[in-house]
Structure 1
Amino acid sequence: MVVGSMVGAGVFSLPRRFAQETGVAGALIAWAVAGAGMLMLAFVFQLLAVRRPDLDAGVYAYAKAGFGEYPGFFSAFGYWASACVGNVTYWVLIMSTVGALAPALGDGDTVLAVALSSVGLWAFFLLIRRGVKEAAAINKIVTVAKIVPILFFIVLALFYLDPSVFADNFGGADYAGSLFDQVRGTMLATVFVFLGVEGASVYSRHARRREDVGRATVLGFLSVFSVFASVTIVSYGIMPMGEIAELRQPSMAGVLEHEVGTWGRVFISVGLIVSVLGAYLAWTLMAAEVLYVAAQDDDMPRFLGRSTDQDVPVPALVATTLLTQVVLIATLFSDDAFNFALDLTSALSLIPFLLAAAYAVKLLVPRDAPGGRSGRSRDLTYAVLATVYTAFLLYAAGLKYVLVSFIIYAPATVLFAMARREQGRRVFSRAELGLFVFSLAGAVAGVAALATGAVSI
């Protein structure tokens, strides 16, 4: 689940995304920062799985345990929404890939592309509706199949690597800013490709042993990190970064085509479609799981907590597919559909990640922390570093995506109110009301910024 959900659309877009922001030096620093930060986050999910084995559905459960029901609801909804928006990038990239042969599909953002994507969206709904076990079995096969073309790309790129081109790309191009700005510009892309590191935690209720959750998280992260960094760095030795920055997505296909011809683009394109469909399957399962578990804990309306005899949470699955459909239609109005969906996905996921890391700090500060004192200082260090890293990512995301995130977060409070009414409870405590007012103000500011053109998508 970890590898399957992390290796999706993002890796195939890395060459262009990085080349638009930075050269080799900035890319090396960015991957060092992202790798270290995400490793700390992976360690956080590992230690929480061991120290709080009673908490299922990872990201959401940790936020609720640490900071209360309303922040927990925000975390559950934000994580679910980020998964739905992330699923849109898969369909955009598939249509953009096929669009190289069928111009009517454009970059995956034309009316025809959205219509075909919608058909695929609901076809997958029917597949998953048949049973989670069937879908998980398909995911295992796809995970293996999609790794092969990526590794093949890395080996070929190393074989064709031109040291002089690599050296010219080392310091960055004229359009790149300071080294700090270059690194900052890549941060949302690294968050996007690492989404899924928490996959084992989300599905922890299905694990036979809790230790397996943490082990899968760390091993999955380390293996995928090496692949992502390699894809980015070797590309700088094939083409000038200015040319890479102008490639259509998936840019990995364009880089390989530059060296070996048309068959390189076809090979990577086929691998991408297999990869993306597999990742879409994994993320749809995880998104529905988060809504289902939240409803089981009375933090979402009860209808979202229903499931079939095959363990399929159908109402949660319907809600997941519907939100994905809405965002897919919204890409018709975006200047760059793929990058917009990618950055918004990353921004939405940051609050749930920040709350999970902060909960780990809160859990480990007392000397009598759950799980015993053994390794407490080490685990606390991991938790503090992960919290600092995710806070930096919110800064790196910039005000634009924070405001757009609030536009999605604030209206979702209707679901929280429905759940409280079902239980015959007050909708908000005083502290929760303050948080709601803050999120509502952020949403109003976001809508105003879009309306005036101060922010564009």
Structure 2
Amino acid sequence: MSRPQRAVQPRTPAEHKARALGLTSATGLVVGSVIGTGVFTMPAVLAGGGTSSLLVLGVVAVGATLLAVLFGQLTRRVPNADGGLYAYARHEFGDFAGYLTGWCYWVSAWAGNAAIVSSWVLYVDALFGLENPPGWANWLIALAGLWIPAAVNLAGVRQMAWFENLTVVLKFLPLLFVGVVGWFFVSSGNFGPFNASGGSLYSAIGIGAGVALFAFIGVEVAAITAKRVRNPGRNVGLASVLGTAASAVLYLVVSAAVMGLVPHDTLVGNGTPFVPAFEAVLPGVDWAGKLVAALAVISGIGALNGWTLVTSEVSRATAADGLFPKAFAWADRKHTPWFGVLVAAALPSLLMLWRYTADTGLTVFTFLVNLSVVTVAIPYFFSACAQLTHLVSRRRGIRGLLLARDLLITGVSVLFSMWITFAAGYAAVYQALVLLLIGLVLYAFLNARRGPREDKQEPEVRELPRAA
């Protein structure tokens, strides 16, 4: 039995230069993309469901880690893994499935950028003491959060990687402070009830599941940017698992600490829960709240920096195969898909303008979180099914316990992807379905321009015999 082919390695100096992400930078990209400003808002949302939300967060962390393992296996197996989840689906199921996967992930990526920046705006308001600013003011702040990372990405992949590593270090400082020092000031009386939803336990799980699932979106970014990673067959999987595991531990420790530092009634609905958490650890220190707000702002810029790259990379890979408008494959001399970068900043800018005319604060954040969760669940599902197809076929080269292990990982990933969709709620599924249908209209035009495939002959038209 022949071994599966590994991902294609660069063969020219230009391609080698384009692979600017080593293991450290790839891991930093995963951590930077997973941990954005959402973590600075997450404890307040989790508190709405009660302490049961921490158990939900732990379950989601396990599922996300298994997905990270799955993406590493797929990257090693698929000969051309450029584009990650899109490439896996196209390799196993063909162009149409590849397009649907790429389209849904692309929508999830830029909608997720809008969710990140909506949380980021809350901390900018806290940093500068802006109380209940008008929607247009928050929109202008959001524009800065979206277009500064776009400018960094346009400067080149190496500059993006340097900026990402710096912001990862800076974002870890307040999280580690709360996760370590904060536990010395935790009060058991601050924790809310196990079920604080006011309804059934199922309702409490739903509250925690949405934000927890969103918090782990990003486990796949090393796979999406495989073309930019050196030795992707090894580093993509390793970076995905290391980055996801580190993020999971930090999420659990920090979220529990904040829920124990801030009284439950104060925490629920608070858009900047880390501010009172720091003030609880450092009472009487006027600049404590400002410091955490500043670090949250830096963290958000770092997350948006990484996600701008991811958004442009998935559209570039899809366009390079003729399944997206050609403009998304346009690249400058630094191999930066500049058109995709600009669109990755423009679309969430327009989305934020629309949302800020109707809602503000956590309402905007929650809406965008649910939309991103559903649209990313579809690519996760396609990727897991692609691996399942391989494992149950005769093409696989593994047997025995290794096959059982891989089937377990893949089976859990399939169920986890389905649960993500279910947990996001009916409204989010409806909105995602509308976006999916819009994507099908675009595919109709793209497919018509491509013409018939070389391996697909037009059916021969035969005349029916005439009746006597």
Structure 1 length normalisation: TM-score? 0.86
Q: 1:267 aligns with which of 291, 307, 310?
A: 291
Q: 1 CA distance for matches of 2:125 and 2:55?
A: 34
- 1:343-422 equivalences under 5 Å are 343-369=370-396, 375-422=402-449
Q: 1:188 aligns with which of 190, 210, 213?
A: 210
1:62 paired to 2:88? yes
Change (3 A) 1:396 1:90: closer
Q: Which sits farther off after the overlay, 146-155 or 232-241?
A: 232-241
Change (3 A) 1:67 1:57: same
Shift of residue 183 of structure 1?
A: 1.7
Shift of residue 292 of structure 1?
A: 0.2
1:330 paired to 2:354? yes
Give the unaligned 5+ runs of structure 2. Answer: 1-28, 457-468
Alignment match, 2:163: 138
Q: 1:255 aligns with which of 264, 277, 282?
A: 277
- The answer (yes or no) to whether the contact 2:46–2:54 under 8 Å persists in 1 is no
Q: 1:3 aligns with which of 22, 25, 31?
A: 31
Change (3 A) 1:183 1:306: same
Q: Which sits farther off after the overlay, 125-134 or 198-207?
A: 125-134
1:223-247 C-alpha deviation (Å, 9 max, x unpaired): 1100001111122322332221032
Q: 1 CA distance for matches of 2:256 and 2:390?
A: 38
Structure 2 length normalisation: TM-score? 0.84
Computing the radius of gyration over CA atoms, which structure comes out larger, 1 or 2? 2
Shift of residue 221 of structure 1?
A: 0.8
Q: 1 CA distance for matches of 2:332 and 2:131?
A: 37
- 1:44-443 equivalences under 5 Å are 44-100=70-126, 106=132, 110-166=135-191, 169-173=192-196, 175-209=197-231, 210-247=233-270, 249-261=271-283, 262-332=286-356, 333-334=358-359, 336-369=363-396, 375-425=402-452
SS of structure 2 residue aligned to 1:99: helix
- The answer (yes or no) to whether the contact 1:20–1:242 under 8 Å persists in 2 is no
Shift of residue 318 of structure 1?
A: 2.2
Shift of residue 104 of structure 1?
A: 5.6
1:21 paired to 2:81? no
- The answer (yes or no) to whether the contact 2:182–2:261 under 8 Å persists in 1 is yes
1:335-362 C-alpha deviation (Å, 9 max, x unpaired): 6111111221112111111111121111
Q: 2 CA distance for matches of 1:117 and 1:164?
A: 37
Q: Which sits farther off after the overlay, 280-289 or 151-160?
A: 151-160
Q: Which sits farther off after the overlay, 362-371 or 263-272?
A: 362-371
Shift of residue 312 of structure 1?
A: 0.7
Shift of residue 389 of structure 1?
A: 1.1
Change (3 A) 1:415 1:322: farther
Q: Which sits farther off after the overlay, 12-21 or 113-122?
A: 113-122
Shift of residue 2 of structure 1?
A: 0.8
Deviation >6 Å, runs of 4+: 371-374
Q: 2 CA distance for matches of 1:413 and 1:368?
A: 31
Corresponding letter in the other structure for 1:61:
A
Change (3 A) 1:251 1:221: same
Give the unaligned 5+ runs of structure 1. Answer: 430-457
1:85-114 C-alpha deviation (Å, 9 max, x unpaired): 11112322232223236566737x711110
Q: 2 CA distance for matches of 1:18 and 1:6?
A: 17
- The answer (yes or no) to whether the contact 1:143–1:275 under 8 Å persists in 2 is yes
Q: 1 CA distance for matches of 2:55 and 2:150?
A: 40
Q: 2:64 aligns with which of 20, 35, 38?
A: 38
Shift of residue 17 of structure 1?
A: 0.7
Shift of residue 387 of structure 1?
A: 0.5
Shift of residue 39 of structure 1?
A: 1.8
- The answer (yes or no) to whether the contact 1:31–1:229 under 8 Å persists in 2 is yes
- The answer (yes or no) to whether the contact 1:50–1:371 under 8 Å persists in 2 is no
Change (3 A) 1:50 1:375: farther
RMSD (CA atoms):
2.2
SS of structure 2 residue aligned to 1:236: helix
Corresponding letter in the other structure for 2:96:
Y
- The answer (yes or no) to whether the contact 2:105–2:376 under 8 Å persists in 1 is yes
Corresponding letter in the other structure for 2:355:
T
Q: 2 CA distance for matches of 1:126 and 1:389?
A: 36
